[in-house]
């Protein structure tokens, strides 16, 4: 049905014009602009309808119906075009960003923990399972803690056992983790059961078994009634856990100013099992750690009564442990950063 009226013509003309423009719109922004231009509150269709008031009453429903029909028509076309443009955009993106899923992936090199750190963590874990608490001490240490409180007074020849790197008259890079013993005893009361991992420094000529910087793990137990049997049992447990129960160890009397009696623990050579070979220098045994019963003076310096409390202590290098476990004959390989060596500990 055609409606003969100038207003109807105007509405039809708007429809034609709008449909043309919609068909030619090439972006979603264009479409939005057209929606506003034709259907908006001040849009062309709306303005055309505002002229309705001047029409005779009997024409109004027909023009109104036409206007509504045109409005729905335009809305539908806008929506269709919007969908078409969206699909088109997606298709173009998929085309340009196509991924060949059959290509081999990019291999990111994954690092591993350094074998010495692995050894250190493993030993710390073994002690943690035995109920030890892990603490740390400073790497820059007072002479007093590194030596004096460990029963090595100034000018005592025992200081020559450690090739120290002094930073000033009374301060040095700690030569061992033992000063942490004095620190923890001063700050707490027994019972104590602590393990102290950390870095130490010595002024040494580097060779197969010495470096100027190295790791140590210190242990200290203080309580009433601690005996040498507790020390032996603990270190046997450590070696059994770290090397396996088959590996032989031995206690050899030794001397440390801060323990009395003192003992070193040797482990049977990883290569010959104690039968003596080239790799153990025909000794059959290799030195693993130092240990002993805490010297009464050391307890006294910390304010503990040696008549009431006793304790044992030990200090070891994870590098020594690691070379004995893996039968490595030169400590320096750990610090050369040769990936071919390090990768074996993955």
Residues near ligand DAH, by CB under 6 A: 176, 178, 218, 256, 259, 290-292, 313-315
Distance of CA 341 to the CA centre of its chain: 23
Query: Closest by alpha carbon to 119, among 236, 238, 272?
Result: 238
Whose Cβ is closer to ligand DAH: residue 55's or residue 158's? 158
Q: Least Å distance between CB 103 and ligand DAH?
A: 55
Whose Cβ is closer to ligand DAH: residue 38's or residue 312's? 312
Q: Least Å distance between CB 206 and ligand DAH?
A: 17
Whose Cβ is closer to ligand DAH: residue 14's or residue 178's? 178
Q: Radius of gyration of the chain from Cα atoms?
A: 43
Helices 6-24 and 60-96, interaxial angle, to 10°? 0
Q: Least Å distance between CB 321 and ligand DAH?
A: 14
Whose Cβ is closer to ligand DAH: residue 255's or residue 345's? 255
Q: Least Å distance between CB 341 and ligand DAH?
A: 26
Q: Least Å distance between CB 129 and ligand DAH?
A: 20
Whose Cβ is closer to ligand DAH: residue 218's or residue 266's? 218
Sheet containing strand 259-268, strands side by side? 133-134, 192-201, 213-223, 310-316, 285-294, 259-268, 249-256
Q: What are phi and psi for residue 266, nearest 5 degrees?
A: -110, 150
* Structure tokens, 49: 């309808």
Whose Cβ is closer to ligand DAH: residue 14's or residue 291's? 291
Residue 162 vs residues 52, 136, 159: alpha-carbon distances, Å:
107, 20, 6
Query: Closest by alpha carbon to 212, among 172, 181, 266, 267?
Result: 172
Q: Least Å distance between CB 135 and ligand DAH?
A: 14
Task: Report the alpha-carbon distance of residue 106 to residue 108 in Å, rounded.
Answer: 6
């Amino acid at each position: 049905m055609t409606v003969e009226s100038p207003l109807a013509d105007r509405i039809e003309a708007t429809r034609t014009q709008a449909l043309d423009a919609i068909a030619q719109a090439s972006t979603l922004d264009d479409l939005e602009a057209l929606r506003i231009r034709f259907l908006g509150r001040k849009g062309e269709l709306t303005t055309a309808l505002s002229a309705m008031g001047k029409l005779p009453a009997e024409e109004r429903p027909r023009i109104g119906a036409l206007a509504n029909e045109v409005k729905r028509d335009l809305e539908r076309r806008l929506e269709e075009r919007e969908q078409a443009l969206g699909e088109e955009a997606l298709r173009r993106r998929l085309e340009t960003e196509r991924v060949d899923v059959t290509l081999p992936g990019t291999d990111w090199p994954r690092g591993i923990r350094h074998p010495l750190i692995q050894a250190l963590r493993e030993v710390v874990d073994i002690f943690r399972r035995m109920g030890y608490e892990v603490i740390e001490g400073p790497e820059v240490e007072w002479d007093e803690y590194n030596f004096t409180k460990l029963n090595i007074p100034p000018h005592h020849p025992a200081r020559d056992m450690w090739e120290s790197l002094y930073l000033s008259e009374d301060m040095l890079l700690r030569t061992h983790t033992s000063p942490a013993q004095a620190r923890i005893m001063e700050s707490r009361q027994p019972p104590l059961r602590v393990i102290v991992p950390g870095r130490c420094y010595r002024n040494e000529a580097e060779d197969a078994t010495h470096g100027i910087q190295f790791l140590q793990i210190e242990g200290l137990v203080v309580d009433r009634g601690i005996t040498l049997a507790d020390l032996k049992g603990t270190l046997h447990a450590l070696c059994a856990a770290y090397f396996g129960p088959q590996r032989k160890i031995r206690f050899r009397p030794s001397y440390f100013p801060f323990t009395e009696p003192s003992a070193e623990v040797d482990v049977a050579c990883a290569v010959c099992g104690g039968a003596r070979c080239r790799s153990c220098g025909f000794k059959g045994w290799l030195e693993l750690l130092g240990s002993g019963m805490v010297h009464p003076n050391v307890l006294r310096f910390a304010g503990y009564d040696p008549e009431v409390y006793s304790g044992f202590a030990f200090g070891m290098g994870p590098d020594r442990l690691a070379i004995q476990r893996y039968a490595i004959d030169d400590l320096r390989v750990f610090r050369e950063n040769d990936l071919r060596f390090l990768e074996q500990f993955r």
